[in-house]
């Protein structure tokens, strides 16, 4: 840029030019050649200059364009995502979890705690599970270097562990108060509560040493343990739902509403059975003074003792029944004649009465029936191929074939052996299975629910399964980088809180969390420094980001977050 001056009646006037220096051989020096004149300096069209600079910047790489357009005395320091934590933090405060943490108070033992810092650390750990799941050591580094969290510029590993230890002490009170806050904010319907369990395994050579435990699976003090007290390690061998019976595990339970909002979670030793944990769950939810609840569970909780327990008080249940259990009630329900009623495009229901206390509803899905038929035909054809020439084999060889088939339950179901030891298709069993195609049986103790409500209510049990899927695939419940039982339990609570925030976001935006997370994490805050100090500025919002914030009712982040003038 070249500036020239000219005197007129009003004084000195400055003119701006775009010039290029060219070598003049005659003069022996560089001479500026004017390429374009911008006019008087006091009448400069600055908007036009900005458009020109922006147009020229498109010819450069983004980093080079930033350096070229930034002031020579302003330095770009760093940039980290802010969109995800901005949204999660506002929901965290809207649910008043920050106030709940402060109300729950100081730990029962140990030195007093700074509850403001504890609350910020807990939020940061929950945000880490939702945005970038990692170990607590990696989470501390992520909080310090890779994300912007309001009120927590940096943190070490030990404060994270101390916050988790405090969380374990106050879990019961915190869960109750968080539920009350969520129920008020979202106007939750808790007439139906869906409950299910899962397991998560640990890469250990040996399970934990057995310790005395109460009926809820919590460790007992030596003075509380009696002679008939149950002894078990927390990470213990059990029936794995991840097909890893060879590794120690823990059992985790979760209750969700019909909208998929998780209201509470539990942890038990790895050898706990589904048929016993449901009683503890009902007792602890009763302490929350809820109105009438209809418990919806799958087939693992259908024993008579559990049904009696769930029916106590003003509660009821909807439980799936095992079609192949062989019980007299199931056989009688399936043998009753009657017409199905269409309740949805792919759902028909038929209610049968065979008990004074329970109602049975048979549900039939025509599409699922076609899939079951196709799978059975494939299995039968494969089995027919395996036994086709076995009549010519010796008894020993036929025994080998039968042993091989016995290890495949899907095939062994349709196999029978004649008195002479010949292998044949079990046509009676095939006919029985045809009658079960696309069907499932429900048992309900509520006399007022319609058959349609019972069927649709049980279908919503998929919300719990979706919760477990997100826990393991999005929040990364496993691997668990902890050895102490208290911290393993606290880790599960952190995952539950993260899932709670995610479900609220999905409910309000009608968008999956992975898609929302990708869009929000594109919103960054950049740090700049110069002679006068340091400041942080947020990038401009895109239309998808503005739409997400509008649906959630969350204000836009401030454009300038922090100003730190250089000390004089």
**pLDDT (0 to 100) of residue 223:** 66
Whether 31 maps to a domain, the answer reads yes
411 within 8 A of 379, measured Cβ to Cβ: yes
Contact 362, 337 (CB under 8 A): no
Q: Rounded CA gap, 473 and 133, in Å?
A: 10
- DSSP, collapsed to helix, strand or coil, labels residue 41 as helix
What's the total number of domains in the chain? 2
The pLDDT value given to residue 533:
79
The count of residues in the chain is 568
Q: How far apart are CA 422 and CA 402, in angstroms?
A: 10
**Is the previous residue joined to 161 through a cis bond, with omega within 30 degrees of 0?**
no
Single residue among 408, 434, 460 that ends a domain in this structure: 434
Among positive and negative, which fits the CA dihedral 125, 127, 130, 134?
negative
Q: In this predicted structure, what is the pLDDT of residue 292?
A: 66
What is the model's pLDDT at position 566?
72
For residue 123, the SS3 value is helix
pLDDT score, position 58: 79
- Is the Cβ–Cβ distance between 288 and 275 less than 8 Å? no
479 phi and psi angles, rounded to 5 deg:
-80, 150
Burial of residue 145, with CB atoms counted within 10 A of its CB: 0-12 exposed, 13-18 middle, 19 or more buried: exposed
Strands (E) in 43-167, as ranges, are 75-81
User: C-alpha distances in angstroms, 415 versus 331, 390, 418?
Assistant: 22, 13, 10
Where among 418, 434, 450 does a domain terminate? Answer: 434
Chunk the chain into consecutive blocks of 10 residues (it has 568) and report each block's average pLDDT, rounded to whole numbers: 85 88 88 88 86 81 61 79 96 94 73 84 97 93 95 93 92 90 79 86 91 87 69 92 91 88 93 83 77 79 83 84 84 87 88 87 92 94 92 91 90 92 92 91 90 88 86 91 94 96 94 96 91 85 95 92 76
**105 close to 167: Cβ distance less than 8 angstroms:** no
Predicted pLDDT of residue 70: 58
329, 310 Cβ separation under 8 angstroms: no
Token pair 């750990």: residue: 125
Q: Are 74 and 528 in contact (CB under 8 A)?
A: yes
d(CA 84, CA 409): 47
In whole angstroms, how far apart are CA 126 and each of 30, 134, 137, 156, 477? 64, 11, 14, 16, 12
Residue-level pLDDT at 417: 92
Give me the residue label for tokens 């939020």: 123
Paired strand residues for 249: 201, 236
In a domain, 409, yes or no: yes
User: Token pair for residue 137?
Assistant: 């050591």
Rounded to an integer, what is the distance from CA 532 to the centroid of its chain? 44
Give the Cα separation of 112 and 7 in Å (integer). Answer: 75
Residue 8 lies in a domain: yes
pLDDT at 312: 80
Q: In what helix (H) or strand (E) does residue 267 lie, and over which residues does it extend?
A: strand 262-269
Nearest to 15 by CA among 3, 23, 27: 3
Q: Which two tokens stand for residue 214?
A: 């109460």
Q: What is the pLDDT of residue 230?
A: 82
Q: Specify the 3-state DSSP secondary structure of 241.
A: coil
324 in any annotated domain: no
Question: Is 474 part of any domain?
Answer: no
Distance CA 133, CA 491 (A): 11
Q: Which residues contact residue 540 at a Cβ distance below 8 angstroms, ignoring those fewer than 6 apart?
A: none
* 232 within 8 A of 269, measured Cβ to Cβ: yes
* Residue 216 included in any domain: no
Q: CA 477, CA 198: separation in Å to the nearest integer?
A: 11
Q: Find the DSSP H helices in 95-114.
A: 97-104
> Which has the closest alpha carbon to 202: 161, 157, 238, 164?
238
Q: Among residues 173, 428, 443, which one has the least CA distance to residue 334? A: 443
Cβ-Cβ contacts under 8 Å for 290 (sequence gap 6 or more): 190
Q: Which of 283, 319, 288 is nearest to 304 (CA)?
A: 319
For the chain, the helix, strand and coil percentages under 3-state DSSP, each to the nearest 5: 45, 25, 35
- Residue 376 token pair: 């059975």
Residue 219: DSSP 8-state: B
Structural contact between residues 450 and 393, judged by C-beta atoms closer than 8 angstroms: no
Q: Of 248, 244, 241, 309, which is closest to residue 275 (Cα–Cα)? A: 309
Q: Which residues form the domain of 409?
A: 367-434
Q: Which of residues 43, 69, 95 is at a domain's end?
A: 69
CA dihedral 165, 166, 171, 173 (to 10 degrees): 160
């Amino acid at each position: 840029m070249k500036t020239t001056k000219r005197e007129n009646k009003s004084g000195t006037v400055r003119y701006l030019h775009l010039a290029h220096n060219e070598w003049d051989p005659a003069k022996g020096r560089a001479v500026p050649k004017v390429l374009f004149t911008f006019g008087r300096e006091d009448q400069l069209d600055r908007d036009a200059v900005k458009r020109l600079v922006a147009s020229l910047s498109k010819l450069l790489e983004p980093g080079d364009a930033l350096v070229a357009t930034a002031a020579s005395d302003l330095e770009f320091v760093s940039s980290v995502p802010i969109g995800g934590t901005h949204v999660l933090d506002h929901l965290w405060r809207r649910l008043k979890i920050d106030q709940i943490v402060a109300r729950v108070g100081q730990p029962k033992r140990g030195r007093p705690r700074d509850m403001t810092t504890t609350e910020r650390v807990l939020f940061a750990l929950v945000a880490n599970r939702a945005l970038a799941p990692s170990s607590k050591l990696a989470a501390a580094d992520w909080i310090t270097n890779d994300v912007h969290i309001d009120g927590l510029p940096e943190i070490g590993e030990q404060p994270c562990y101390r916050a988790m230890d405090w969380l374990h002490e106050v879990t019961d009170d915190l869960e109750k108060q968080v539920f009350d806050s969520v129920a008020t904010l979202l106007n939750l319907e808790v007439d139906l509560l869906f409950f299910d369990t899962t397991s998560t395994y640990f890469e250990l050579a040996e399970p934990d040493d057995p310790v005395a435990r109460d009926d809820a699976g919590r460790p007992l003090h030596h003075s509380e343990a009696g002679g008939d007290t149950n002894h078990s390690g927390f990470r213990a061998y059990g029936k794995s739902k991840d097909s890893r019976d060879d590794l120690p595990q823990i059992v985790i339970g979760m209750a969700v509403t019909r909208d998929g909002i998780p209201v509470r979670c539990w942890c038990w030793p790895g050898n706990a059975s589904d048929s016993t944990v449901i009683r503890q769950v009902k007792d602890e939810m009763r302490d929350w003074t809820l109105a009438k609840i209809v418990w919806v569970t799958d087939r693992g909780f259908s024993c008579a003792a559990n049904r009696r327990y769930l029916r106590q008080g003003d509660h009821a249940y909807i439980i799936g029944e095992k079609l192949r259990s062989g019980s007299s009630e199931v056989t009688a329900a399936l043998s009753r004649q009657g017409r199905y009623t269409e309740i949805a495009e792919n759902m028909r229901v038929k209610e049968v009465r065979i008990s004074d206390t329970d109602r049975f509803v048979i549900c039939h899905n025509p599409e699922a029936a076609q899939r079951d038929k196709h799978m059975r035909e494939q299995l039968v054809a494969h089995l027919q191929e395996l036994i086709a020439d076995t009549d010519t084999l010796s008894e020993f060889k036929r025994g080998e074939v039968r042993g091989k088939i016995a290890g495949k339950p899907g095939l062994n179901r349709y196999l029978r052996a004649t008195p002479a030891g010949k292998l044949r298709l079990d046509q009676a069993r095939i006919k029985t299975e045809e009658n079960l195609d696309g069907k499932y049986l429900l048992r309900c103790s509520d006399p007022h629910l319609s058959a349609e409500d019972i069927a649709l209510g049980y279908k919503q049990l998929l919300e719990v399964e979706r919760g477990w899927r997100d826990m393991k695939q999005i929040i990364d419940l496993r691997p668990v980088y902890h050895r102490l039982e208290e911290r393993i339990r606290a880790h599960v609570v952190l995952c539950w809180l993260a899932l709670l925030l995610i479900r609220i976001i999905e409910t309000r935006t009608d968008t999956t969390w992975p898609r929302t997370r990708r869009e929000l994490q594109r919103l960054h805050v950049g740090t700049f420094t110069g002679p006068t100090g340091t400041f942080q500025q947020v990038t401009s919002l895109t239309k998808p980001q503005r739409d997400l914030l509008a649906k959630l009712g969350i204000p836009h982040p401030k454009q300038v977050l922090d100003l730190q003038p250089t000390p004089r």
